[in-house]
Amino acid sequence: MERRTFLKILGLASLFGTGMLRSLFAAEGPVVVVAEGRDYEKVTVRALSALGGMKRFVKPGDTVVVKPNIGWDRRPEQAATTHPLVVRAVAAGALAAGAKKVKVFDRTCNDARRCYVNSGMEAALKGMRGVELKHIEDERFRKVRLNGRSLREWELYDEALSANVLINVPVAKHHGLTGLTLGLKNIMGVMGGNRGSVHRHIDGALADINAVLKSTLTIIDATRILTAHGPQGGDLSDVKILNKVIASTDIVAADAYATTLFGLKPENVGTTVAAYRRGLGEMNISRMRIVRA
Amino acid sequence: MTAMKLKKISLPRFCQLLFLLLFLALFVMTEYRGNDRVSLAVNSFFRSDPLLAACYLLAEKSFTVLLLPAALVVLFTLALGRFFCGWICPLGTVLDLVTTRVRKTAPLKFLQGNVKYWLLLPLLGAALFNVNLAGVLDPLAILVRALTFSLYPLLGDTVRQGWVGLYRIMGDGRDVLAPGYAMIRDYVLPFRETFYPLAFLSLAMFLGILFLERYETRAWCRRLCPLGTLLGMIARFSPLHRIPATLCPDCGDCRSFCPTSFDGEALQREECIRCMECRLRCRFQRIGFRFAPSGRVEPCLPERRVLLGGLVSGFFLARLFRFRLPDAQARVLRPPGVRNEQEFLRKCVRCGECMKVCLKNALYPALFQTGLEGIYTPLLMPRLGYCEYSCTLCGQVCPTGAIPDLPVEAKRREVIGKAVIDRNHCLPYARNVNCIVCEEHCPMPGKAIRAETEKVTGEDGRPTILRKPYVVAELCIGCGICENVCPIEGKSAIEVFAVKDRTPLVAHAGSTGTPKDSPYP
């Protein structure tokens, strides 16, 4: 190759690298669907179809993992766990799109049995053929090299890693350390080991994990949100009913938008900022396409 | 031979097996299975146990309706004799099942005579002086503890290890077998394997009782068992007599059929367990059991010497083992709802039920932490397991109400202890890094752990906002989840300490919602 050609290519390449591409396709920023309504199953279905329908993400024969927040022994109206009807609609959608199996699980903080029962998850998913609501089994965690800036490696849940499609279904709520807990933090539910120890550099650690374990789809349950005393709450006066479901293929965008529901700005939440800086998605609301459904 | 035996199973033996199965079924059901209430638990057996009832009465000096079934057993014993031992007692049934496979040597001399009274009377005496040790030697408690602390965890761990082993070999291919395993896991196995202190002692007591079968049949029942001895004392009043009362001169086979009472020529009335073996197996069908007024009222109690000695040693037992190490006391955390230590020691019968049912395996048997008199009483060890905020199971299964059965709203306000932060270990204080995992897990709706923010220079040299946790003691119930989840290795940086004043928190002002008007499934 001639030196001149080489330099030309290098010059052009650097143009692309420094954000030419990003500004070139600015209009094509991530789509964030905001669906609203009182029937949470229907709202979720509407949000999904506005994104192009579940068939866009789930191919026939796929194994789909739906990862809600079932972390606490709280009832649905207390807004500490994902609403079971939202999860039910997501699981049903995946099945209808031809999923072979839909696995639903979370590594809980309180007793797993109580969490699964009192969150309403067991009742909501009962009798759905092809849907497994499973307790975490320790032997399924395996060490994964993350080579991240905060975490070199960590134990992640094998079923989440090996799934064809990972649908992240967090509930939007307050959190004492990270300000809010949304899609990025919900992925903590597939982490093994001593999770508490990552709290010292939680924003970077979550970016590291989300960079390796990518959510195909993030559906944030904001049907009711917990505005204080999170992540467990317990007091209904801290709960605000919004009847909204946010959906996006861009986890950072979904989180950033959900932040505004609390009257906060995306840059107020360290987790979102760290993920954005890591290039995991868009956090500027102005660069997103917000679709109401 | 075996087939013949099976065919001809008699009513008493059938009844025994039925109660043993019931006992095991209730044992397995003493666990959270998706419902806030456990309707059936092994505590039905404990509540029908006259020894536990007697010790409770003596210690607490009042009666509780919980123990009504035990009063019924006493009434039936007055009428029928020691039928409990021959028809119901699951430990007795276990002995009957193994004894045929144990070759006998001669009975142990030193166990004969008054030894059993020397066990029973000090127990009753200690109870009178406010220390309820009944459960230590109660046969049902011995069986439940051997199961809870040793055999059940062993079973669970073995099966689970096998299941994990299959995963190592088959990987996800194991999922084919998952439905079968799920059945066993959900209905038979303990939810999680916990190993307990005193596991060895609990098993050794049980195996020791089995070992005694080497010397004679039902050696424990006739020579030692305090429950059997108590029932035997009541049985002397029973008008149900065996006829003939002595061995027949021309046969004497009864001596070999009888598991307990033909030491001499005459049937020992307080030891006959009404097993009916003699009647069922008599070649001449001479034997019957008839109701008739007792001809001769036998003395109900043993010699005065033994009676007094027993009571006095009970007094010593209750007083001389009072010594307690003060620093161990700081960590004596009782199950939720227990407000007074002395009252608890009077009521707790050490049956192990609360430890069996505890959702997070937070309760463990005490060894010496509460003095020797507190052996086998339940202690909360938060680093191993915490008290689940909305769970009330231990109160539900306690047969004597030593742990009160509280509605969940009330239980959430019961104080077990108070959390204390150790700033020398706590990360934000000791190392200027963020953590507050304790605050995150605190279940109180208003948070009993809060954090103050402070601008500091972080690990990377850049200014960061540090959240430093502190405990709001007025809101803390000492559930111990903070101590349980503290991510520091080994010793936790936040620990729950016992407090004397366990007045429950005032009712929570905010709305916690009622499940009734919940529109959700």
User: What is the arithmetic mean of pLDDT over B328-342?
Assistant: 92
- Digit-coded pLDDT (tens) for A145-169: 998 888 999 999 999 999 999 999 9
CA–CA distance, A277 with A269 (Å, rounded to integer): 13
Which chain B residue has its CA at the smallest distance from A198's CA? B435
The answer to whether B485 contacts chain A (CB < 8 Å) is yes
Contact (CB, 8 A) for B199 and B365: no
CA distance A56 to A33: 15
Q: Cβ A237–B512 below 8 Å, yes or no?
A: no
Q: Are B513 and A236 a contacting pair at CB < 8 A?
A: yes
Q: Which of A176, A231, A237 sits opposite B451 (nearest CB)?
A: A176
Please give the structure tokens belonging to residue B268. 């020992």
List the single best residue of B31, B409, B413, B520 to mutate versus A (max A Cβ within 10 A). B520
Distance CA A46, CA B2 (A): 68
A to B CB pairs, distance under 8 Å: 117
pLDDT for the residue numbered B298: 60
B513, pLDDT greater than 60: no
Among A126-140, A237-251, B367-381, B450-464, where is mean pLDDT lowest?
Answer: B450-464
Interface of B with A in 109-168 (CB under 8 A): 164, 167-168
**A111 to chain B, closest Cα gap in Å:** 7
CB distance A200–B167 less than 8 Å?
no
d(CA B404, CA B473): 24
Task: Calculate how close chain A gets to B230, using CA atoms only, in Å.
Answer: 42
Give DSSP secondary structure letters for B73-86.
Answer: HHHHHHHH-SHIII
Residues A118 and B61: their CA atoms lie apart, in Å, by 41
A205 touches chain B (CB under 8 A): no
Q: Does A142 touch chain B (CB under 8 A)?
A: no
pLDDT digits (tens), chain A, 293 positions: 677 776 666 665 655 544 444 444 445 789 999 999 999 999 999 999 999 999 999 999 999 999 999 999 999 999 999 999 999 999 999 999 999 999 999 999 999 999 999 999 999 999 999 999 999 999 999 999 998 888 999 999 999 999 999 999 999 999 999 999 999 999 999 999 998 888 888 999 999 999 999 999 999 999 999 999 989 999 999 999 999 999 999 999 999 999 999 999 999 999 999 999 999 999 999 999 999 98
Segments of chain A assigned E as strands: 31-36, 63-68, 101-104, 131-133, 141-145, 153-157, 165-169, 171-175, 179-181, 217-226, 239-248, 289-292
pLDDT per residue as tens digits for the range A189-204: 999 999 888 888 899 9
Which residues in chain B are contacts of A177 at CB distance < 8 A? Answer: 434-436, 439-440, 467
CA distance A78 to A233: 7
B137: left (phi over 0), alpha (psi -120 to 50) or beta: alpha
In angstroms, the CA B362 to CA A111 distance is: 12
Q: Are A195 and A188 in contact (CB under 8 A)?
A: yes
The reported pTM is 0.88
CA distances in angstroms from B36 to A75, A117, A291, B53, listed in the order given: 13, 10, 43, 27
Best mutation target, A86, A102, A114, A188, to test chain B (most B CBs within 10 A):
A114
pLDDT score for B368: 82
Collect all residues with Cβ–Cβ distance below 8 Å to A146 and sequence separation of at least 6. Answer: A152, A153, A154, A208, A209, A211, A212
ipTM: 0.87
Average pLDDT over residues B344-360: 92
Across the strands, what pairs with A68? A169
CB-based contact A84:A119 (threshold 8 Å): yes
Of B442, B445, B459, the CB nearest to A235: B445
